[in-house]
């Protein structure tokens, strides 16, 4: 265990520990009985269920045991650290990304967990409970996809595949778009790309498709919460892609309201 104020090593051991936490959170989501899934609306009118809260409890408990000195910013936490309380390292967590898809009975929802170091995502884990699949990566060390039963540790994975973004195709650029949150600005941006093919997906799975080479670009020209995108950002970069603001500047984390600006994720850096 790292001592206070010393960066935790971003290595395979750390990634396995974080993956187990995300896997246990995925199992917690699946274990919530149907009658308890009635949604409630939060102050921002986004839905939340008992499954969101069960996942959040698992993640916060796991991180507090493993990394007691590292702050955690979670979408569902009743109290979040202030900017002044954030250190060089902190975690950004979305315990159930794609709650609308989850409520609708769709499989496109995820658990997102990211480690931020110096304002940049350095490690990201995305677990899809209904798909028994985990995508994960460490920036500078690569990314992988694994078939992992929810609740299981990494050594129980039935399939592990190194993943990498693909080169930009000459024609037929594939763009990921949101299933539940289509918006005009992103649509107008894509209209300007000749021959673009749109692929619709929920939650952070859009980043996963870029990271594994199934798509080329994911533009989102509205502000989102940082916990919605940090794990996917780390995954795409670990797999060889880029994620920047619309004007090509680095996308950093730890803003006062934890709102990220519009961004574009690329499998291959634009020319």
pLDDT tens figures, 212-269 = 999 999 999 999 999 999 999 999 999 999 999 999 999 999 998 899 999 999 999 7
Q: What is the CATH number of the domain that holds 73?
A: 3.30.540.10
Model confidence at 6: pLDDT above 60: no
Answer yes or no: are the C-beta atoms of 185 and 231 closer than 8 Å. no
Integer angstrom CA distances of residue 222 from 96, 137, 183, 190, 219? 20, 26, 8, 14, 9
Query: Strands 224-225, 159-163: parallel, antiparallel or unpaired by DSSP?
Result: unpaired
| CA–CA dist 65, 38 (Å, integer) | 31
Which of the listed residues 144, 163, 182 is the one where a domain comes to its end?
Answer: 163
Which of the listed residues 109, 134, 163 is the one where a domain comes to its end?
Answer: 163
pLDDT tens figures, 163-188 = 999 999 988 899 999 887 778 899 89
| CA–CA dist 180, 134 (Å, integer) | 22
Which of the listed residues 114, 141, 163 is the one where a domain comes to its end?
Answer: 163
pLDDT tens figures, 71-83 = 999 998 766 777 7
Report how far Cα 110 is from the mean position of its chain's Cα atoms: 8
Are 74 and 45 within one domain?
A: yes
Task: Show the domain range for 189.
Answer: 174-266
Are 216 and 150 within one domain?
A: no
Are 27 and 157 within one domain?
A: yes
| CA–CA dist 231, 67 (Å, integer) | 18
Residue in 141, 126, 114 with CA at minimum distance from that of residue 253: 114
């Amino acid at each position: 265990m790292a001592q206070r104020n010393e960066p935790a090593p971003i290595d395979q051991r750390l990634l396995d520990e974080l993956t187990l936490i995300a896997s246990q959170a995925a199992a917690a989501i699946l274990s919530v009985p149907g009658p308890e899934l009635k949604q409630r609306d939060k102050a921002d009118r986004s839905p939340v269920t008992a499954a969101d809260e069960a996942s959040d409890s698992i993640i916060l408990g796991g991180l507090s045991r493993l990394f007691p000195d590292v702050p955690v910013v979670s979408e569902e936490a009743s109290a979040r650290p202030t900017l002044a309380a954030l250190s060089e390292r902190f975690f950004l967590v979305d315990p159930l990304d794609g709650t609308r898809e989850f409520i609708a009975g769709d499989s496109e929802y995820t658990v997102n967990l990211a480690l931020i170091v110096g304002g940049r995502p350095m490690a990201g884990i995305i677990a899809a409970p209904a798909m028994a699949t985990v995508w994960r990566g460490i920036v500078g060390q690569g990314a992988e996809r694994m078939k992992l039963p929810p609740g299981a540790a990494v050594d129980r994975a039935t399939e592990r595949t190194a993943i990498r973004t693909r080169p930009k195709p000459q024609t037929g650029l594939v763009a990921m778009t949101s299933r539940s949150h289509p918006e005009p600005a992103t649509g107008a941006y894509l209209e300007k790309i000749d021959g673009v093919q749109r692929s619709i997906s929920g939650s952070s799975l859009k980043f996963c498709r870029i990271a594994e080479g199934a798509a080329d670009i994911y533009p989102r020209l509205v502000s989102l919460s940082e916990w919605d995108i940090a794990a996917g950002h780390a995954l795409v970069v670990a797999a060889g892609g880029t994620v920047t603001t619309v004007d090509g500047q680095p996308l950093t984390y730890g803003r006062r309201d934890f709102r990220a600006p519009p961004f574009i994720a690329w499998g291959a850096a634009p020319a």
